[in-house]
Amino acid sequence: MTGSPRSADRRNYVIVTMAYWADTLTDGAIRTLVLFYFYQLGYSPFAVASLFLFYELFGVITNLFGGYLGARLGLKATLFLGLGAQLLALGMLGLAPLAWLSVPYVMAAQALSGIAKDLTKMSSKSAVKLVAGESQGQLYRWVSALTGSKNAIKGVGFFVGALLLSLVGFQAGLLALAGLVALALLLAAALIRGELGAANKKATFRQMFSHNRAVNMLAAARLFLFGSRDVWFVVGLPVYLASVLGWDFWQAGGFLAAWVIGYGAVQAATPGLIRRRVSGQHEPGGRTAAGLAFALAAFPAGIALALMLGVSPTLSVVAGLIAFGAIFALNSAVHSYLILAYTDSDKVAMNVGFYYMANAGGRLAGTVLSGLLYQLGLSYGASGGLVACLWASVAFVLAAGMLSLLLPAEAAPRTRPIMIGDAGE
């Protein structure tokens, strides 16, 4: 007996999410493998940051075109394209002769990895709206759970990558990850039934650029929010832990993993941690996002001041990062809910793609500045590089807060109800 369309959509969504988790774990592991391996070879902080330049740049491009592809082809196609691109990226790095592992070659492989990550993310995040129905509360809970679980698994990936580098080396570790992605791709291809969202052949590329003011303001706030994290987290912090605090790679990777796992747990619990009653509802709005952003700015500023005043760097960084992660997680989860709340269901893939294009733009700016500012700041002492990154983080997060003040206090009313099959349009 055939199940209901809603049951089939939920089953497919579970499979898509599991495939996304496999890709997310791999993505986190690749990041620490590449970062620590090339830092170990003697690359400067800016040179290490440049290895991720194409990863973030193609993330911007993929989110721009990925929403269009998701609308035209359906989310199932973009999922398989993402997993295939990740498998190719791992093969490029894991099977190449070591002499090939120059900066341009690794940047090209990282470009494929960035494409893979954002195609699978867009597929899974867009699918949430397919199964949430018309309930804003259910949508809020589903988005928070997916976002939180993704970040927890990415944190596990950070540790797995550092551990693989310590135990089996760079290329053997990458090949082990390739096996995981290949298994996820095969299982998804075998188990997904039908299509996940109906393709809309009438979708045009011009529609990718949102005419919804709330979506545009949220995308701009998202760019600065993620820039505020990555400007110190991507290169500055890991290099600081290894070079100044003297941590081993597996220790630094383990700490970053624990931070991201905790960050993910906070995201998943956001609906219970943030209670905002409006007409009997518990969903956040633009003022919630603004308030969280302004509160967040205090933590990178506090860490920077502590380091400048000679407070124990281990205590300052560890305690400050934990506090930063908790507030950042709440802010990020609210953003992830608002993008789906503000958009109409017939434009969900495109608007999610546009929003994550801004997200990737913030990551790109943060990544480049993380390496550059850390290297420039070293002229002011051992902690000068991280301090420079932290003050840039303060500026970014304040910009995110100012932009969030322009968001609607409540989710914009939909022009159409959510219908099964709409998420792929």
What's the confidence (pLDDT) of residue 14? 76
> How far apart (Å, rounded) are the C-alpha atoms in residues 296 and 223?
15
CB 412 within 8 A of CB 213: no
Considering only CA atoms, give the Rg of the chain.
21
Ranking 38-42, 57-61, 95-99, 390-394 by mean pLDDT, the lowest is: 57-61
Band (77; pLDDT cuts 50, 70, 90): confident
Arithmetic mean of pLDDT, 321-330: 89
- H helices of 343-407, in order, are 348-377, 384-404
Ranking 67-81, 157-171, 231-245, 379-393 by mean pLDDT, the lowest is: 67-81
What's the confidence (pLDDT) of residue 278? 39
What's the confidence (pLDDT) of residue 36? 87
pLDDT at 27 > cutoff 70: yes
What's the confidence (pLDDT) of residue 1? 42
State both tokens at 214.
């709330």
pLDDT at 399 > cutoff 90: yes
pLDDT at 407 > cutoff 60: yes
Band (353; pLDDT cuts 50, 70, 90): low
Arithmetic mean of pLDDT, 382-402: 93
What's the confidence (pLDDT) of residue 53? 83
Arithmetic mean of pLDDT, 346-357: 65
Nearest 10 degrees: Cα torsion 398, 228, 388, 55: -150
Burial label, 387 (beta-carbon count in 10 A; 0-12, 13-18, 19+): buried
Higher pLDDT, 335 or 3: 335
From 402, 366, 393, 369, select the one nearest 60 (Cα to Cα): 366
* pLDDT tens digits along 266-276: 776 766 666 54
> How far apart (Å, rounded) are the C-alpha atoms in residues 188 and 180?
12
CB 315 within 8 A of CB 328: no
State both tokens at 179.
């096996």
All domains of the chain in start order, with CATH: 5-200+209-413 (1.20.1250.20)
What's the confidence (pLDDT) of residue 416? 38
